[in-house]
Amino acid sequence: AAYAKALRGLQPSAGDMNTLSFIFSSGSFREAYSRMRYLSRFSEWRKRKVADIDESIGRISERRQHLTGLRHSQDQAFRQAEDARRTLAQKQSESEKLVTSLRRQDSQLRAELAKQKRQARELDRELDRIIAAEQARIAREEAAARKREQAANKAKSKGSKGSSGKNDEPSARDIASARARTQSAASTSASQLSGSFTSNKGRLLFPVGGRYKIVRQFGRQPHPTQRHVTIDNSGIDIEVSRGSTARAVFEGTVSAIFRQDGFHTIVMLRHGKYLTIYAGLASTSVRQGEKVKTGQTLGTIYSDPADSDRTLLHFEVRDERRKLNPSAWVR
């Protein structure tokens, strides 16, 4: 502003005199010298002002560039923030969908778990019913055998009394014969068959051949996928390859063959008072009442097409209705 004012002050005299006339119009030499110094200082002042103005223009240009850069950075940051906001909103939406899906899956898993527990209880009840009925049948057969034996002994005793005065006491041969008949009648009792089975505890044949994996152990245990959920398994669950078969762990008799929801076909073998249960069969190769040998094939294990053809055998060992840990019996 000062520079511009000085230039405007010089403009009226610019046409009347030049620098030399301004100097020579002095009244004295001293005044002329003063005017020369004034003009010199004024010229220097003008140069400084020009330099100051150039410097100011440079600073303003740099400042403008800096502000332009800041605005560009601000715009870029704003765009990044908008992108981040959109990404966050998308992730939040995906997270909400995932949470909803997980809740739905959790609900489905819990429903499936409740269904499996119900099916396991139904299997236990059915096995208990079959075992109780079989126990009652065996008890009736043993009672009938004892009655027949007693009737035979009485008839023989009466025949001995009516004979020619021989000693009424039974002979050693008669005692041995009666004992043999008693043992024969009770040959199906638990005391006769359980010994062989129990003596092989820990050495019984495994219910499947080839490669296998025990995916669920016996007893109470945490669920493999549901936190804070426990399950109770009456036996062990064995995963095998598709097309695998189940085999008898020990010789015995096919006590029952039946179907149960969730376990498909079930085969139960009796080994004296002990029982082995093979659940999850697609087909069977034995008949009820058939005597089987150790290692004999009982049937083909079911492969679930809804679960990538997963093939599972549920295996149990029982002392009548008391559940035992199968892992302690098989090798």
195 occurs within a structural domain = yes
Q: Are 152 and 185 in contact (CB under 8 A)?
A: no
pLDDT of residue 271: 93
Q: Encoding tokens for residue 232?
A: 């109770």
182 occurs within a structural domain = no
pLDDT digits (tens, 9 = 90+) for 262-309: 899 999 999 988 999 999 999 999 999 999 999 999 999 999 998 899
Q: Are strands 303-304 and 322-324 parallel, antiparallel or unpaired?
A: unpaired
Residues 6+ apart with CB under 8 A from 13: 22
Q: Domains in the chain: how many in total? A: 1
pLDDT of residue 162: 55
Q: What is the CA radius of gyration of the chain?
A: 54
pLDDT of residue 8: 74
Give the Cα separation of 91 and 78 in Å (integer).
Answer: 19
204 occurs within a structural domain = yes
151 occurs within a structural domain = no
Containing domain of residue 324, as a range? 190-331
Strand ranges in the chain using DSSP code E only, listed in sequence order: 213-216, 219-222, 230-233, 236-240, 245-247, 252-260, 264-271, 274-284, 291-292, 297-301, 303-304, 310-319, 322-324
Which CATH number characterizes residue 209's domain? 2.70.70.10
pLDDT beneath 70: ranges in the chain: 7, 10-17, 159-195, 224-228
pLDDT of residue 13: 53
Q: Encoding tokens for residue 297?
A: 């094939």
Q: Are 238 and 207 in contact (CB under 8 A)?
A: yes
319 occurs within a structural domain = yes
Q: Which residue has the tokens 């223009």?
A: 57
2 occurs within a structural domain = no
